[in-house]
Amino acid sequence: MADRELPQIYLVTPPAFALAPFSERLAAVLDAHPIACMRLSMASADEDAVARAADTLREIVHARDIPLVIDSHIALVERLGLDGVHLPDGARRVRKTREALGSDAIIGAFCGASRHDGLNAGEAGADYVSFGPVGQSGLGDGTLAPQELFAWWSEVIELPVVAEGALDEDCVARLAPVTDFFAFGEEIWRQEDAVAALGRLIAAV
């Protein structure tokens, strides 16, 4: 593993936010740290509100050559010129989503702590799988994704893997040798200074 590259950073929005102030915070974070990908992940069932947020965030991240994927809302990807979709239900919809969005779209699948689900998602055409939570979190069903899962995946499978869910500096340091991406969301946005909070997590890598 000595030649393994350092993990990249994958930012996730909070589940709810005021668009104008969050846009300013996001721009500051993107200008301060290297970000590989951004995910719009809103809890709102109001598709118009999600679409407005996607429109605004797309301008911010695309201006910095960062791809924007959206959680669940497959229909908004082409309509709004987004880069892809993150599917929170594992492998279930990956194949049909790939058929709908084509080969260029980024499709990711959250697979909880299930190696089997991750493998199925990869076979169905996912570009990455994410496992988590790695700490105490309500992500998925709350089942912790163990270190061994990431270690096995990084050893055996070429498909990129994302670690997410209640990441702290200790988790980051422990998982850095065996994951390709860290997905940070509430870990930084709930802090007053998101730029500094992300800086501390990146330093742990």
Q: Phi, psi at residue 11, to the nearest 5°? A: -90, 145
pLDDT confidence of residue 4: 65
Q: How many Cβ atoms are within 10 Å of 200's Cβ, its own excluded?
A: 15
pLDDT confidence of residue 58: 98
Q: Do 101 and 115 form a contact (C-beta atoms < 8 A)?
A: no
| Tens digit of pLDDT at every position of the chain (205 positions) | 345 689 999 999 999 999 999 999 999 999 999 999 999 999 998 999 999 999 999 999 999 999 999 999 999 999 999 999 999 999 999 999 999 999 999 999 999 999 999 999 999 999 999 999 998 888 888 899 999 999 999 999 999 999 999 999 999 999 999 999 999 999 999 999 999 999 999 999 9
Q: d(Cα 93, Cα 126) in Å, to the nearest integer?
A: 10
Query: For 190, how many CA atoms within 13 A lie in the half-sphere containing its CB?
Result: 7
Sorted by sequence, the CB contacts under 8 Å of residue 21 that are 6+ apart come out as none
pLDDT confidence of residue 2: 41
Q: Which domains does the chain show, CATH number per domain?
A: 8-204 (3.20.20.70)
Sorted by sequence, the CB contacts under 8 Å of residue 52 that are 6+ apart come out as 19
Q: d(Cα 10, Cα 183) in Å, to the nearest integer?
A: 5
pLDDT per residue as tens digits for the range 82-116 = 999 999 999 999 999 999 999 999 999 999 999 99
Extract long-range pairs of 42-51: CB within 8 Å, 24+ residues apart. Answer: 42/13, 42/15, 42/16, 42/71, 43/15, 43/16, 44/16, 47/73, 47/76, 50/76, 51/76, 51/79, 51/80
pLDDT confidence of residue 1: 32
